[in-house]
Every structure is written in C-alpha cells, then in structure tokens.
Copies of this chain bind each other. A is one copy, B any other.
C-alpha cells in the first residue's frame, strides 16, 4: 500500500514482543468517544497514476507564459549545478543540524551561506535564513523594537505591498505601530520619511530597488535615523546587489530581503527563503538559527548552531522569535547559485539585467501614449503610465501568452494606469520587442 515495510510476519512477531494482541490494541488508550468520526478520503493510487494526475495539473500552470512580471519574485536563470547539488540526498533528507558531528555538511554550507549574505549586503552577521522576504521584513521590524525598546516603525509605502501587509499584521499583535509614508508619484517620499523619524522611532523600513523599480540612495536617511537612535532597515533584491550599492554601504543597520532570485525557481510562491543580516553588535537580537565556527578537542575546525539562548527551544516565550525551521535547502540553493556565478559572473548578471531593462524602457516608452513613471535610476523593473486602465491592457496581452507586467491599481490608489514591468536576463530582445508590439496593439487596435 504505502511505504510501511513490515510484513504480516514482522507485525505478528513484534506484537508478541510488545505483548499486545493486535495493532488496534495499541490505540486502546484513546477513549472510544474520541475516535475519528469520519475519514472520508479516496483510495490510493500507484506511482504511475499519481504522476499522470500531477502532470495534468502541471500542464495548466502557465509555465509557457513569457513573464515580464516580477514584483518581488523573479524569473532568473538557474545553473544546472544548483539542482544537481541541492538534490544530493544527504542534504535534502537531513534534519536541522542538532548533532553537529554528523551534520557538518549542512552546517558548513549554512556558514558559507551566512558569509555570502554578509558579503552581498555589506553586513557583519547573518542568520541561517528566514521563511521568505515578507516575514523577513517583519522579523527585522520586531528586531528593531527589541533593540531600541520602542514601539513604532516608519514604513515606506514604496516597500513591496505584500511585505507591508505582513509587517502590519506582525506588529498588530504586539501593539506596536507601523506608520506608513505614501510615495510621491512613483517614488519614495524621502523628505517625508526623514521628517517622520523621531525619538519614538525604532526603525525606518525602506526598499531598494523599491516596488516601482527605483534604485535609491538612503545615506541621508540613515544619518537622520541614527541621529534619533533609530535603525535603518533596508529590504533589498539580491541580484541587484551585483550592481547597486549595498545596504551596508548605505548605512543600514539591518538588511533583509527575499532570496528567491538566488537560484530558487518561481514555483508558484515557494518555497523560497528570506535573509536577514545586521551589524555584529546586534547579533544577539537576530531571530532564528545561526551557525558559528568552533573547534573540537583536536583543534579541528567545525561548525555548530550557536547563540541558541536566543531561540524558542531554549528561551521559549522570551525567544527573539518563534521561528524554528529555517529554509536551509533554499538557502543552500542561494549559496550554490552565488558560488556558481562567482565574483565576476554575479556582477555581469546584474549588469545584464540592467542593460535589458534599460533597453525595454526605451522601447516601451516609445510606444504611443506610454510614458515612464520611474524616470530616475532603476535596475530591472520600471513603471510605465498607460493611456488606459493597465488591468485591461495586461489581460488583453496575456491572451497572447505574454504577462506584460503588474498593474499597480490593486496596490496603490489612483495608479490604475500604472504598469510595473520586469525584465530579467532571461527575456530576449525579441521578446521585449514583441511586448512593445503587443502593447501598441492592445492600446490602439
């Protein structure tokens, strides 16, 4: 039937050892009145039938749509080696490395991951990953409350709207406040953000590139925040970090983000991983697992889970977070992705995204009636204004197998004609040119 190996003979002999007359007898501690009233599931399938069934479902998943959509999740190239290595059974069928001597594989990989995140973000201490980008921003917000012992964060509304919803939900339960600062046009209102910071502010949370695609300079904001002993939390897009200044360079205290773009497929929403990194002085306030370097009695280097006194299995309700599992396997993919591209390749990849998006900008903005709403620096996303409701236009183009972008009306009042377009290295010039044609058609024919 399933995967239970014991044969009737085994079962008989085991019951004899136990001293029970039947398997059912082992459940006799469960009062009769508590037994399941229903368990109405269909009979099982064989592997062949299951595979067929699942392939049917997968055939209707839009995988052949050409995606100019991003908005936090990106269709990037994933080197074959990533899959091959992350598919090593010893990695993916292991548990949390609680017994370090038989988990040096996972532990060293997570240590290398933490090192990679530190180098990407320009920070000094990273944990071993969080659930996803949205919860990572929320954990950073909570972390700032713990560090500053304050109860308010300033939340730039140019931060990914999905992430903001998660942050407000997390803060709500703790009676902390998230003050949102609306964008000015299609960009962060840096002046209002600066003005909002006061002695009650635990942190300012911003994103670069922001949800409209703008690459931003937060140096002044950092300075202002630090003047008020508030923290600067920067959410960032790791691929962009191959080209744009890191949160560390900008003066951030905590860098967070969605790690998906590093070697994880889009996979209808997950699993991905969130990352969080900070200055070394805040390390004890990090949520989640952290791997540290140490030695054994022969002075051989080894790695262990460390600073566990922050965590729920030790500190229970006084833990820095309730998080238990991390996203090890996804983080491992991120690590291998970064190492596969390497110093030079990672920069080239970022530049390629930039070049393609700049090309797309020029081509699309020259479509009649279309304007660029993000006029400044962008990375691989930008926002267009269309002469009509973007939703209708997107729907029309989608019928041709191209997802033209994310209409912003759903996320920002009054932006019904704004369209967020994403262009990764996987989009060819031909695809970009075709999008321009389709856009023109959808608008004017």
Minimum distance in angstroms from A173 CB to a CB of chain B: 42
Q: With CB as the reference atom, state the residue of chain B lying closest to A340.
A: B47
Decide yes or no whether A36 CB sits under 8 A from chain B: no
Minimum distance in angstroms from A158 CB to a CB of chain B: 31
Contact-size category for A: 10 to 19
Can you list, as one digit per residue, whether each of A79-97 has a CB less than 8 Å from chain B (1) or not (0)? 1100010011100000000
Number of copies: 2
Which residues of B have CB within 8 Å of A77? 47-48
Asked if B47 and A79 sit within 8 Å, CB to CB, the answer is: yes
Minimum distance in angstroms from A371 CB to a CB of chain B: 32
* CA A48 to CA B88, docked complex, whole Å: 23
Asked if A47 and B80 sit within 8 Å, CB to CB, the answer is: yes
Which residues of B have CB within 8 Å of A51? 80
Asked if A426 and B79 sit within 8 Å, CB to CB, the answer is: no
Minimum distance in angstroms from A146 CB to a CB of chain B: 43
Minimum distance in angstroms from A403 CB to a CB of chain B: 19
Asked if A426 and B47 sit within 8 Å, CB to CB, the answer is: no
Which residues of B have CB within 8 Å of A84? 89
Q: With CB as the reference atom, state the residue of chain B lying closest to A51.
A: B80
Q: With CB as the reference atom, state the residue of chain B lying closest to A81.
A: B47
Asked if A48 and B80 sit within 8 Å, CB to CB, the answer is: no
Which residues of B have CB within 8 Å of A425? 48
Q: With CB as the reference atom, state the residue of chain B lying closest to A85.
A: B89
Question: Which A residues between 133 and 159 are near B, CB-CB below 8 angstroms?
Answer: none
Asked if B48 and A426 sit within 8 Å, CB to CB, the answer is: yes
* CA A426 to CA B46, docked complex, whole Å: 12
Can you list, as one digit per residue, whether each of A372-401 has a CB less than 8 Å from chain B (1) or not (0)? 000000000000000000000000000000
Which residues of B have CB within 8 Å of A88? 89
Q: With CB as the reference atom, state the residue of chain B lying closest to A50.
A: B80
Question: Which A residues between 43 and 59 are near B, CB-CB below 8 angstroms?
Answer: 47-48, 51
Enumerate chain A interface residues (CB-CB to B < 8 A). 47-48, 51, 77, 79-80, 84, 87-89, 425-426
**8 extra interchain contacts, Cβ-Cβ under 8 A, other than A47-B80, A48-B425?**
A47-B77, A47-B79, A48-B77, A48-B426, A51-B80, A84-B89, A87-B87, A88-B89
| Ranked 8 nearest A-B pairs via Cβ | A48-B77, A47-B79, A47-B80, A48-B426, A84-B89, A47-B77, A48-B425, A87-B87
10 pairs, A vs B, C-beta closer than 8 Å: A47-B77, A47-B79, A47-B80, A48-B77, A48-B425, A48-B426, A51-B80, A84-B89, A87-B87, A88-B89
